[in-house]
Structure 1
Amino acid sequence: MEKINFNYFCDNFDFYVKEALNNKIFIYPTDTIYGIGSIVNKSNIERIYDIKKRDKNKPFSIVAPNIDWIKENFITSNDFEEKFNFFLENNHGITVILSKKNNLFLPDIGVNNKVGVRILKNNFQNFVTKLNQAFITTSANISNTDYIEDEKYFEEKFEKNVDYILIHNYKKSVESRIIDFTDNYKILR
């Protein structure tokens, strides 16, 4: 496990994109709380379930590279982008629930063909955009324990299981608003 200053990470995206493509696991700041994640593949999904000690019936969300990627891969309405941007601008962070166009797409993510999808309001989004593929996102804590946003907690709980902890002084500690876009923009949280 290596601790990296978030600004250094942002200045060296090319290197960390290669690391992500080599299945490295990251703890990273989002626009809400710290997340733990990686590129999406079956092996990484299993690793993150094990790291978090998470019930395998609880799906992970993803960070999408951009809005066009979302519209290409998920069922969206004609006014989706407008509504999405409205919710994104007016909330600290959002997760939208969408149905996949093809159930073979991201086969190990989501449940009943539905996936939680995020676009972040911080520089980690630029990293995912550069990756140009889905990135697993889930809270950086052991399942069924309180969320603690503390560098020492991350080191203690995850040091042997994650590759990088991105340290940032941004403190939010508020979960994202969840909006089900499969049900006429129904706010779930």
Structure 2
Amino acid sequence: MILSLHPINPEKRKLQQISDKLLEGNVYIFPTDTVYALVADSQSKLGVERLYELKNISKNQPLSLVCPNISVASNYIENLPNEAFRLMKKLTPGPFTFIIRANKHLPRVSFSNQKEKQIGIRIPDAIYLQELMKMHPNPLTSTSVFTNDEFIIKVESLEEIYGSRVEGIIDGGIVDIELSTILDVTGDKMIVLREGKGSDLL
């Protein structure tokens, strides 16, 4: 089911309904500031298991933790060097994935299968996700929509493939194919693991 939200002032009633459904273990597809992504509540075991099933990937494959801002993200970070903090402050919200060392507060249902306590944190510049997270009690867990070796950029194509398998697909129009830039900030110096959207800002 394709869902439409106002592009400037997303309806709070609709967002609250989505939030409630996420807490029940449902999965949605949201547009981000890069590609479309499968999204679940980070504390929902059912929702996270459905993410893996929909993406058809091993539970050892990493997922991303989506947060509204650095303040919320810091609740899950073991240690963030000053340089990395300044970088995150400069670049977020934006199309970046920050690889960080996670602390004991990391949602176990989302990340218990990962051997190393390192996760990717996303703080996307995407109005629908940002407005949803203002009312949703937990960070979100997400993974990009990738089918048959291709990123799906049209909401109509998403409906054909996932319409009966997810609770809803948020219409964000045609999105970019460009992926996020991945930055490893676990050490004293930042390392660029993948150049993507926004890499020109580094």
Global fold match (TM > 0.5): yes
Larger CA deviation: 118-127 vs 78-87:
78-87
Is 2:79 the partner of 1:53?
A: no
Q: SS of 1:10's equivalent? A: coil
Contact 2:63 2:120 in 1 (8 A): yes
Shift in Å at residue 32 of structure 1?
Answer: 0.6
Contact 1:35 1:138 in 2 (8 A): yes
Shift in Å at residue 161 of structure 1?
Answer: 1.3
Is 2:67 the partner of 1:68?
A: no
CA distance in 1: counterparts of 2:161 and 2:174, whole angstroms: 21
Shift in Å at residue 130 of structure 1?
Answer: 2.3
Contact 1:61 1:117 in 2 (8 A): yes
Larger CA deviation: 127-136 vs 47-56:
127-136
Supply the AA of the counterpart residue of 1:106. P
CA distance in 2: counterparts of 1:173 and 1:11, whole angstroms: 27
Shift in Å at residue 18 of structure 1?
Answer: 1.8
CA distance in 2: counterparts of 1:101 and 1:11, whole angstroms: 35
- Output the TM-score relative to the length of structure 1: 0.87
Shift in Å at residue 186 of structure 1?
Answer: 0.8
CA distance in 1: counterparts of 2:165 and 2:34, whole angstroms: 23
- Output the TM-score relative to the length of structure 2: 0.82
Q: Percent identity?
A: 22
Contact 2:154 2:175 in 1 (8 A): no
Shift in Å at residue 147 of structure 1?
Answer: 0.9
Q: SS of 1:154's equivalent? A: helix
Is there any run of 5+ residues in structure 1 with no aligned partner, and where? Answer: none
CA distance in 2: counterparts of 1:174 and 1:127, whole angstroms: 23
Contact 1:33 1:172 in 2 (8 A): yes
Q: Name the counterpart of 2:82.
A: 78
Shift in Å at residue 57 of structure 1?
Answer: 2.1
Contact 2:33 2:95 in 1 (8 A): yes
Of 150, 161, 164, 1:160 maps to: 164
Q: Name the counterpart of 1:129.
A: 134
Supply the AA of the counterpart residue of 1:105. L
Is 2:106 the partner of 1:105?
A: yes
The alignment yields a C-alpha RMSD, in angstroms, of 2.1
Contact 1:34 1:140 in 2 (8 A): yes
What count of residue pairs does the alignment treat as equivalent?
A: 184
Supply the AA of the counterpart residue of 1:168. G
Per-residue CA deviations over 1:62-100 (Å, capped at 9, x if unaligned) read 1113211211221212343321122337xx600001111
Q: Name the counterpart of 2:144.
A: 139
CA distance in 1: counterparts of 2:149 and 2:5, whole angstroms: 26
Is 2:173 the partner of 1:169?
A: yes
Shift of the 132–82 alpha-carbon distance from structure 1 to 2, 3 Å rule, reads farther
Supply the AA of the counterpart residue of 2:28. F
Supply the AA of the counterpart residue of 2:63. F
CA distance in 2: counterparts of 1:68 and 1:85, whole angstroms: 10
Q: Name the counterpart of 2:199.
A: none
